[in-house]
A and B are shown apart, each in its own frame.
Chain A
Amino acid sequence: MGLISRNLRVLFLAVALVIAAFSTGISFLFFLLYLSAGIGIGSWLYARRGLRGVRADYRVLNPRTHVGEVLQAMYRIENHDGWPKPWIEAWNESTLPTSLPGRVVGISARGTRQWMAKVTLTRRGSYRLGPLRVRTGDPFGLFSSEMSVAQATSVVVFPEVVPLPNWRLPPSPIDGTTRVKRRYEAATPLVAGVRPYTHGDAINRIHWLSSARHGELHVKEFDLEQAADLWILLDLDRAVHAGIGTDASVETAVTIAASIALRTLSDNRSVAMTASARRLQLHQPDRGPRVEQKLLHLLANVQADGTNPLAEVLNATLPRLRRGTTLCIVTGSTDRDWVRSLATLRRRGVAALVILLDRASFIGIDPDDRARVELAAVRHALAEYDVEHRLVRRGDDVAAAIGGRGRARA
């Protein structure tokens, strides 16, 4: 029975019933014939009329959001028909890893149903939420009617961003790149306080309001200006990443890059980024909310699909770094070639920070000796060149691991 389709079986039975009834004239066969015809035709009409007078729409409330947050969409179905609709199914086809849940509702005559669908986002990326599909059918499941309404919507899921309240940008090896206890009299944009006037102080350093309040002359003291820019280099060479899904090292790398970028932007600093994916993505230094969106878009869509070794990427990026910039490299590479490139940075007044991912830990097995040795070697090389670095393993608290503490942004 399973070798032929259900439709063919139904057709065969219907034909047999028609022939039997019209050959014999037996009334109960006609009863079955009329009943079958009634249910068949009635079901078709039922399904066909099922979407008459139905209006539907949906709206995504937060089409740009972060991993771990909840995507919300509001659905609304109106029945302008005079007949109630026992069931109307509404759903979106989407490319989301976990799609928005559909819903089946019954709507009274000239009634309206409205609901909110939510789904927790687990993977960053750009997704497409298709048009709203609305379907109904007859009670016997023979026929169904379906329509597509509204337009497709794009949803961008930004990477998870970890608050870094204790994060401090690594200082450049030049004056003005770090906050120090010593205060300077030289004028900078950062006023630290006032002190009583002493002989030799410049007249233009006198703070007249304070002098008036205290009844004696006071002069202003200044902090030296911090480093201006941060350049994040996100190594997306597929050879240096490991793990799958949300536990992949690339996800941690992207989260780290996003967290540092947003934290730095919140300090009103310029942030630039190089992502060595299949195509080298490069954003020039800039600051402000617009940059934040651009960087998050970039980070939402990058994958560990690059083929360029970090050393080559560094060679292409270093000429763009200007004095006073801090370079932050996020990589899982244990190749020591790229460390050598960093040796010249100090001389150029560029600070460097390396967020080193323990690749072996993301594979999910205990690292073998070779991996352990390679990791130790690259850390040793970084120390040798006096390059600050942080090691991040799978499952580590990112905020703590890279120098800050805090919770993931919900």
Chain B
Amino acid sequence: MPDLRDRLLYPRAGWLSLGLIAVMGLALTWSIQGAAWLPRLDYLAPVALYAVLVGAVLGVLPVSVVITLPVGAIVGGLVVLWTVGGEYFPALTQSGRIFALRDELATWILVFLRTGYPAELSPYALGLGALMWVTAFMAAYAVYRHNRVLDAIVLLGAALIVNMSATYADLFVNLLLFVAAALLLWLRASLVNRQEGWQRRRVNENLEVPAAIMRSGIIFAGASVLLAWMLTSVAVAAPLTQAWRGFDPVWSEVRDRLEGVFSTLTNPQSRITGNSFGSSFRITGEWVSNDEEALLVAATQPLYMRTVTYDLYNGQGWQQTEGPERLVAAGDPLFAVPTPERPTVAAAVRVETISVEMRQTIARNLFTAASPLEIYAPAIVEESAGQPVLGQISSVGALAAGEAYQLSVAISEATEAELENAGTEYPEAVRALYLDQSGISQRVRDLALEVTAGAENPYQMADALADYLSSDPSFTYSTTPGTPPAGEDLVEFFLFDEERGRIGYCQHYASAMAIMARSLGLPARVAAGFAPGEDLDDGTYLAREANAHAWVEIYFPGYGWEIFEATKSIDPGFTRLAGDPATAGRPVSGADPFALFELEPGFEGLSNLPSFQPVPGAIDPAGGEEVVVEDARQGNALVILGLVAVGGVLLLLHLRHTHRRWRLLPAGERAWQQLAAAAGRAGVGPRPSETIYEYAGWLEDQLPRHTEPIRTVADGKVWQSYSGRQMTMRAAQRLEKAMARLQVPLLWLGVRRRFRNLVRRRP
């Protein structure tokens, strides 16, 4: 029992380690909370702390792993259920919380299997809590049971890195906190290991030694952190991005599949899924946003900046039908075949070259406006269902803040009269994708007919629908709308629920209008991107995250996709001229779809941007030449190359210094010193107690095929040291040759020995 008491009170890892692991766990917790994957994540901190405590206690107890791990799992399950239930169902009793969690989990599974878009959040909370428990528990257990500090750091660190990699949220402070705690833990563990080694070998330590080691370690670690931070601010590059290009389709597929499962997560800055600009979105919960700058657009007028369009409504949200991806070279037409994305009535459009500067990284999304014709940077176009339509457009790599690109767009100037006369001769692609009426209830259809009563053509119908949704006083804009009951259609809920209906944000309004329009036979789709931002009065428009938006686009033959703003309280920023119905003829069927490219751009927005740092591979719209601008990545790569070069120069200087030192030595001594240095680098240098021939003999055993040069060098050294005579030039040359023959074998011997040490398991 005294042993058990000592083991519990004075564990080998010490209780300071427990505090450091707890800090690492909290850093992970705070980073997950900072990413805001869920609206309520306060339960994670107690889960992490309990996990660390239980892991440490079970690690210290002299009990078999067959018992400790199941006990840890059971305790973890109880703690997670208790904390998540308390946070998500605070009004219920403990048993009621368990039942509520069970019900939500069952519902989540059923909905996921049926539609792929579950709305319940508590299952995600349970999953996150379980992951947090496992990670923190195993980290503490690894330290206190096996003294494996590195494993604990890797485990918690990997979770932190995964979380930080999955979001654009700035979580660097959490990383710093984690790194500080991890380095301290590592330092302490290293000191403890060293002290144990000293005790084993009867090496007494002076009292000041542990403090001196920790002090020097902290200074060293602090300097390393500071240096890393400084280098990070000047030298970041992604030269391998292109190498992974072949995996983009795979990653896109994975991301799309993940979006079904994780679309409910609320992180507005997710890199992987859950944002408004993925290939699908689910309308649920609160709309979270902020005022951080997103885009700066140089154009003649406010523009809706689109990055993705959705054609398929699933009752809970929208998704883009899967289709192939095409890499479009900078300056090439986005579509090389006839497409409904390109207007054919040249008189009704104005071609502009606009510029878009990223103010933050938003995945790989590229933002276009109106009918994009060409992008002067490499782009990837995903065509929904393989049809020549703009499903999603993205860049080759993630765009960093400050990077910009240009694109030619055809901005519609079609008048109401022209759109009214556009007719209904829809292209095949439009008919295939945007007229789907499956799942639209009669109630919705009746309401649409009621709203559009008196409308005589598609434009008037669309205009009436948009006007109804945006102007009718029964609708209220809110970022915290009600959530439809499980299984209920979102649009039905939004339009007809008497208690919680008619309250919502852009996605509710856009969905309602698109479905109502389709019920009337209008080809409609939902587009996502940014609404026109703040006019900075210098020819640029600043879109903030709060301007993230979803809107409706209706197709009009010859004129392409026209934007209709149905969201209450959103100003579209443009008006259509009424036009003269008498002169507005129906577009000519079969018009040359490439005629627009003959038009000269009427505006160059580049000069309006305060600076222009083109994305990699961007070209000049005028000349087609690649824009050679000192961009950050090229500069950063140069910094990295510079660092490598400095390291190489220092190495050369060191070698030169060493050779200078040898230059004045007699030939025999010099050859021997060179041999000893080369062997020392290989880890097989001579020992002080060895005679020359003892060492030479040992080295000959290591390099049995090179005994002759070794013997020559050893003989030379002995002759030089003990004969008292000068060595002849010929003998000196023979020594140099022998030494030269040994350089490579010694180098190879060092590589072999180091590799063997690398893979050899530590006892």
Contacts and interface: CB of A to CB of B under 8 A. Distances in A.
Contacts of A26: 164-165
B172 interface: yes
B758 interface: yes
A149 to B, nearest CB: 7
A154 to B, nearest CB: 13
A19 B215 CA distance: 33
B471 interface: no
A22 B760 contact: no
B28 interface: no
Contact of A103 (B165, B204, B688): B204
A15 interface: no
A41 B221 CA distance: 12
Given A35-B224, A103-B203, A28 B164 contact: yes
B206 A106 contact: yes
Interface stretch (B47-55, B146-154, B495-503, B656-664): B146-154
B202 A102 contact: yes
B95 interface: no
Nearest to B231: A34
B326 interface: no
B145 to A, nearest CB: 12
Contact of A31 (B215, B228, B689): B228
A101 B203 contact: yes
B438 interface: no
A87 to B, nearest CB: 5
A94 to B, nearest CB: 11
B236 A27 contact: yes
B236 A131 contact: no
Given A23-B240, A139-B217, A101 B204 contact: yes
Contacts of B179: 32, 35
A5 B209 contact: no
Nearest to A106: B212
Contacts of A99: 202
B379 interface: no
A299 to B, nearest CB: 28
Nearest to A11: B758
B216 A22 contact: no
Interface string B747-761: 000000000011111
Interface string A40-59: 00110010000000000000
A407 B231 CA distance: 73
Contact of B215 (A3, A4, A86, A140): A86
Nearest to B229: A31
Contacts of B183: 39
A290 interface: no
B186 interface: yes
Nearest to A46: B220
A84 B209 CA distance: 12
B573 to A, nearest CB: 34
A87 B209 contact: yes
Contact of B236 (A25, A43, A84, A87): A25
Given A27-B232, A31-B175, A148-B687, A5 B758 contact: yes
Nearest to B195: A104
Nearest to A140: B190
A20 B243 CA distance: 12
B206 A28 contact: no
Interface residues of B, number: 66
B722 interface: no
Contacts of B164: 26, 28
A34 B232 contact: yes
A30 interface: yes
Nearest to A100: B202
B633 interface: yes
A314 B223 CA distance: 78
Contacts of B204: 101-104
Contact of B762 (A6, A28, A89, A103): A6
Query: Taking chain B's interface residues, is the majority helix, strand, or loop, or is none over half, making it mixed?
Result: helix
A277 interface: no
A9 interface: yes
Interface string B124-143: 00000000000000000000
B397 A104 contact: no
B243 A32 contact: no
Given A9-B150, A104-B204, A140-B187, A89 B212 contact: no
Contact of A39 (B151, B221, B238): B221
B689 A23 contact: no
A400 to B, nearest CB: 36
A132 B225 CA distance: 37
A52 to B, nearest CB: 14
B247 to A, nearest CB: 10
A24 interface: yes
Contacts of A105: 206, 209
B730 interface: no
Contacts of A24: 165, 238, 241, 398
Contact of A19 (B161, B190, B240): B240
Given A34-B232, A86-B212, A86-B216, A29 B758 contact: no
B175 A103 contact: no
A209 interface: no
A3 B203 contact: no
Interface in B370-398: 397-398
A176 B204 CA distance: 59
A141 interface: yes
Contacts of B154: 9, 13
A186 interface: no
B235 interface: yes
Contacts of A43: 220
B533 to A, nearest CB: 26
B205 interface: yes
Contacts of B98: none
A140 B186 contact: yes
A5 B762 contact: yes
A102 B688 contact: no
A1 interface: yes
A26 B172 CA distance: 11
Interface in B212-254: 212-217, 220-221, 223-225, 227-229, 231-232, 235-241, 243-244
Nearest to B146: A2
Given A25-B633, A34-B228, A3 B761 contact: yes
A91 interface: yes
A91 B760 contact: no
A22 B240 contact: yes
A102 B209 CA distance: 14
Nearest to B400: A25
Contacts of A89: 198, 203
B6 interface: no
Interface string B64-75: 000000000000
Interface string B448-488: 00000000000000000000000000000000000000000
Given A34-B231, A103-B206, 4 more contacts: A31-B228, A86-B213, A89-B203, A139-B216
13 contacts: A1-B148, A2-B146, A10-B150, A11-B758, A25-B633, A26-B164, A27-B236, A28-B232, A30-B235, A30-B236, A98-B202, A106-B208, A141-B194
Task: Rank and list the top 7 A-B pairs by shortest CB-CB distance, nearest first.
Answer: A25-B238, A139-B217, A102-B203, A141-B190, A34-B228, A38-B224, A35-B228
